[in-house]
Amino acid sequence: MSAANNVKEHDSSTTIRADIERLDARVIEAARRLPAASLHEAGGKIGALPMALKPVAQNFRICGSAFTVHSPGGDNLWLHRAIDLAQPGDVLVVYASGVYEHGYWGEIMTTAAKVKGLNGLVIDGCVRDADLLEQIGFPVFSRGLSIRGTGKDYGAIGWLNAPVMIGNVVVSPGDLIVGDRDGIVAVPRARAADVVEKAAKRETDEAAICKRIEAGETTMQIYSFH
């Protein structure tokens, strides 16, 4: 018997949580119209994911409930499992154990995720097939691009829908994820409706301030700076 046949497979069911509480569709629809920066500010400057995470294509925008993935480094089997179990509208949020330089995601997985109706991918690691990802139109935010392949170790332990830490932000399943060219924000699910409402008001207030500036006032006057 070969050494490979002696490898004990991890029982993936013990670290998979399939049922999570997701955001109300009305909250997601309202958040979709708001910039990530406004949501970050409205929440009290919370939830800003690392600036290293960028959209693969400039026009990509992401919004939905977080489906979290803790993947072993250099392995993408748990991402395949996530695509299979996630629901339409979910955003996959992946922590790759701090191992960045692998192409964890590409054309085939993008196609599968789009067909499943997912709302995007945020991965603290790299992806590949950038031109095809842009062509397919499924929003992907990553640390960069890498052609280095991944493995599929059935004995490696990973988690689906456990909290993950991206940078200094803990993302829990069901949190609101919004990303655009400026960055990505994660808003705790319990606060999402309130933060979205405050962000919408912030956008209205800032539009009014811009009109005052266009009418001749200065920022020093408007904000009483000195």
Residues in the annotated binding site: 106-109, 128-129
The single-letter code of the amino acid at 197 is E
DSSP secondary structure letters along 114-174: HHHT--EEEEESEE--HHHHHHHT--EEESEE-----B--TTS--EESS-EEETTEEE-TT
The answer to whether residues 97 and 70 touch, using CB atoms and an 8 Å cutoff, is yes
Q: How many Å is the maximal CA-CA distance in the chain?
A: 82
- Binding site for substrate, by residue number, is 106-109, 128
Residues 152, 158, 160, CA angle at the centre, nearest 5°? 115
Residue numbers belonging to the annotated binding site for Mg(2+): 129
